[in-house]
């Protein structure tokens, strides 16, 4: 007896996975367009763009509940498999000429190991934030901020410019989200694309009061002179996405989703929440010191006030992606006109 035929069908991926794929495709094409204008070998170009795309996709997939559940069901195994996957991406990038160097390349496996180790210790101390949580954040952040990790991505004599910052940033984001969403899950990070209208409204309100304040302060002190420099039309969307996904969102995950979140959980009172917001904002302000060769009090001041604005959005919405909207608007406008 013949069995009834069933039509072939492919299940449509969940929305977050589709968004991650679309954004990765757009950003990878943008990276290819930029790097293709540089006279380098095809392998150099391909290995850099593919490494960038894989790290970006992995980072964005953490917005997917299905992906998180899959990793959490395999937490013990994934503690080894996930960093091994990140290391494999680095090795792929390192196959280009002059890229794998000893001892600089050994920084990558060390960087992958210590945050996961400290996050595992934090789990053993219970749900309440403890010193191992802060050590995890410090080991995630400082090697990138102090450019220690950049040496591992720096080609010795390859023809392509070193993409040290974006690749270091993406590696750090993958590791941070893995540590605090899988190994040592903490609530309230809010790394999600599922934004409601009130979330966007809060982001726009913060932008509406902070941007004029920053503009007046910047113009009065000479910190932000008006000098428009628009990119080529084909690069506008990749530039906006780059500012959003490579700068604003990673910084919001680190400072609001992790540091402010952990401090507020350690002091869960009204005063404690305000103190955590202010401390995080000041740390955020001083983190911009190395963006200029000399100490610039104007940069620290305006970045600290920005940190307050972003922290308020995060507290009111519970989502780092909402805070990243305000952050992205500021960065994009500054990048285009100041």
- Decide: 118 and 135 in contact? Cβ < 8 Å: yes
Percent above pLDDT 90 for the chain: 64
Choose one of 162, 186, 210: the last residue of a domain: 186
pLDDT at 9 over 80: no
> Do 224 and 334 belong together in one domain?
yes
Characterize 253-270 residue by residue with b for buried, 16 or more Cβ atoms within 10 angstroms of its Cβ, and e for exposed. Answer: bbbbbbbbbbbbbeeeee
Question: Is residue 288 situated within a structural domain?
Answer: yes
- Is the pLDDT higher at 102 or at 313? 313
Please give the residue range of the domain that contains residue 242. 188-338
Residue 331 tokens, joined: 């960065």
> Do 24 and 168 belong together in one domain?
yes
pTM: 0.91
pLDDT at 5 over 50: no
Task: Give dist(CA 88, CA 76) in Å, integer.
Answer: 19
Average pLDDT over residues 265-280: 96
- Decide: 267 and 275 in contact? Cβ < 8 Å: yes
> Do 258 and 323 belong together in one domain?
yes
Average pLDDT over residues 43-56: 91
Question: Is residue 35 situated within a structural domain?
Answer: yes
> Do 256 and 310 belong together in one domain?
yes
Question: Is residue 156 situated within a structural domain?
Answer: yes
Burial of 61 (0-12, 13-18, 19+ CB in 10 A): buried
Closest CA to 90 of 29, 173, 167: 167
Which pLDDT belongs to residue 234?
Answer: 66
Average pLDDT over residues 91-108: 82
> Do 271 and 328 belong together in one domain?
yes
> Do 83 and 182 belong together in one domain?
yes
Q: In total, how many domains does the chain have?
A: 2
pLDDT at 14 over 60: yes
Closest CA to 311 of 266, 281, 275: 281
Question: Is residue 225 situated within a structural domain?
Answer: yes
Mean pLDDT over each residue of the chain, to the nearest integer: 89
Closest CA to 330 of 312, 305, 293: 305
Question: Is residue 275 situated within a structural domain?
Answer: yes
Question: Is residue 6 situated within a structural domain?
Answer: no
Which pLDDT belongs to residue 210?
Answer: 97
**pLDDT bucket at 44, cuts 50 / 70 / 90:** confident
> Do 75 and 205 belong together in one domain?
no
Average pLDDT over residues 303-328: 97
> Do 63 and 148 belong together in one domain?
yes
pLDDT at 208 over 90: yes
Q: Determine the longest span between alpha carbons in the chain, in angstroms.
A: 85
Question: Is residue 1 situated within a structural domain?
Answer: no
Choose one of 186, 216, 246: the last residue of a domain: 186
The owner of tokens 């941070």 is 176
> Do 171 and 210 belong together in one domain?
no
Question: Is residue 246 situated within a structural domain?
Answer: yes
pLDDT at 17 over 60: yes
**pLDDT bucket at 25, cuts 50 / 70 / 90:** very high
| CB count in 10 Å sphere of residue 146 | 10
> Do 179 and 201 belong together in one domain?
no
> Do 141 and 204 belong together in one domain?
no
Task: Give dist(CA 178, CA 59) in Å, integer.
Answer: 9
Choose one of 157, 186, 215: the last residue of a domain: 186
> Do 204 and 165 belong together in one domain?
no
Average pLDDT over residues 277-291: 92
């Amino acid at each position: 007896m013949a069995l009834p035929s069933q039509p072939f069908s492919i299940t449509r991926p969940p929305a977050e996975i589709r968004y991650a794929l679309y954004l990765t495709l757009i950003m990878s094409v943008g990276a290819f367009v930029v790097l293709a204008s540089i006279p380098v070998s095809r392998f150099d170009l391909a290995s850099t763009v593919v490494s960038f795309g894989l790290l970006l996709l992995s980072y964005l997939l953490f917005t997917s509940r299905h992906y998180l559940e899959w990793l959490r069901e395999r937490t013990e195994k994934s503690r080894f498999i996930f960093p091994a996957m990140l290391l494999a991406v680095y090795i792929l990038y390192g196959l280009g000429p002059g890229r794998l160097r000893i001892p600089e390349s050994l920084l990558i496996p060390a960087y992958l190991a210590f945050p996961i180790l400290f996050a595992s210790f934090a789990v053993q101390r219970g749900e309440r934030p403890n010193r191992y949580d802060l050590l995890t954040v410090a080991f995630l952040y400082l090697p990138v901020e102090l450019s220690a990790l950049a040496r591992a991505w720096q080609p010795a004599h390859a023809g392509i410019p070193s993409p040290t910052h974006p690749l270091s940033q993406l590696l750090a984001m993958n590791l941070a989200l893995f540590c605090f969403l899988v190994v040592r899950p903490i609530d309230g990070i809010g790394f999600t694309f599922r934004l409601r209208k009130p979330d966007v409204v809060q982001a726009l309100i913060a932008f509406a009061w902070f941007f004029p304040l920053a503009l007046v302060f910047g113009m009065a002190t000479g910190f932000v002179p008006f000098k428009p420099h628009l990119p080529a039309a084909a690069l506008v969307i990749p530039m906006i996405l780059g500012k959003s996904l490579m700068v604003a969102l990673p910084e919001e995950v680190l400072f609001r989703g992790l540091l402010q979140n952990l401090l507020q959980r350690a002091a869960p009172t009204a005063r404690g929440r305000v103190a955590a917001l202010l401390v995080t904002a000041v740390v955020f302000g001083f983190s911009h010191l190395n963006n200029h060769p000399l100490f610039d009090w104007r940069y620290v001041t305006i970045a600290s006030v920005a940190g307050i604005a972003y922290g308020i959005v995060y507290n009111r919405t519970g989502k780092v992606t909402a805070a990243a909207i305000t952050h992205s608007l500021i960065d994009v406008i500054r990048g285009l006109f100041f």
